[in-house]
Amino acid sequence: MPPPATTASADDKPLVLLAQPLFVDFAAALEGRYRFAVLEDADEATAAEARVLLVPGLKEVTAELIGRLPALELVVATSVGLDHVDLDACRRRGLAVTNAGCAFSADSADYAVGLVIAVLRRIAAAEAYLRCGRWATDGEYPLASKVSGKRVGIVGLGRIGSLVARRLAAFGCPVAYHSRSPKPSSPYRFFPTVRALAADSDVLVLSCALTEETRRVVDREVMEALGKGGVLVNVGRGGLVDEPELVRCLREGVIGGAGLDVFENEPDVPAELFAMDNVVLSNHRAVLTPESIRGVLDIVSGNLEAFFAGRPLLSAVTL
């Protein structure tokens, strides 16, 4: 007689350590394929076994945390930006790191363009004016600014920045950019500093990664260069901007307006911004749609499968 068929036990499934609990969609999609343990609940043996750390959201991954995981080989992030991960510590340990790749790029670019339009045309303020009955009592809302033809400067001409550029170029907007170095294949004008780019722009869009070099890269000097009619749009990270100085510049009329999806100390937002009708605010939503969540889930799932099968990772980050 042949031996009875056996079913793989839960212990045969690869272990994935979670920096924090999985989102519902992720948990449902990955259920049954891996053993999961949440870091704060994991015992010493589980932590010692883990080869993969999955980082949902923007949970901080410190050198101390990495040091507690002696078998760790891979950090899988569900975000594009990695400012919450100590990449120097990963490099020292020889760890591989993956991010969300291009899963969020189109949605973030769409949203950036939406913020540009919303701020220049004062869409949110005009709607609030209508909703509270002022159209009937006080007449027309004041005229807002045209979008087409505005000079747009983009800080960070990566995946997202390039898509923003293509979208706004279709509006007839002259596009220029600043990045660490010129991109020979780019059709857009390069500026060696953010201040020089701002001085030549009506709209400044931030879509670069947050690093020690880019932290508060937009300071008062840059905002003064952008000028009193200028608009700042940030879909990158809040730390790219000197936030207290931004509040002052908006209050003093140093710049004309802002569209902000990200903030320095989320979820805290400077209270002064709430009363400014030349500012459009959102709660770090630029990247989030059902389609983008499905896309990042596919990339995360693909990276996990590739790692445990010994194949090349889908979205490895160069450290």
Sorted by sequence, the CB contacts under 8 Å of residue 99 that are 6+ apart come out as 77, 79, 80, 81, 82, 315, 317
The identity of residue 76, as a single letter, is: V
Q: Is residue 47 within 8 Å of 19, Cβ to Cβ?
A: no
Q: Are 113 and 121 in contact (CB under 8 A)?
A: no
Contact 222, 194 (CB under 8 A): yes
Q: Contact, 161 vs 186, CB < 8 A?
A: no
- What order of strands is seen across the sheet that includes strand 257-260? 189-190, 175-178, 152-155, 203-206, 231-234, 257-260, 279-281
Catalytic residue numbers read 237, 266, 284
* CB contact at 8 A, 169 and 157: no
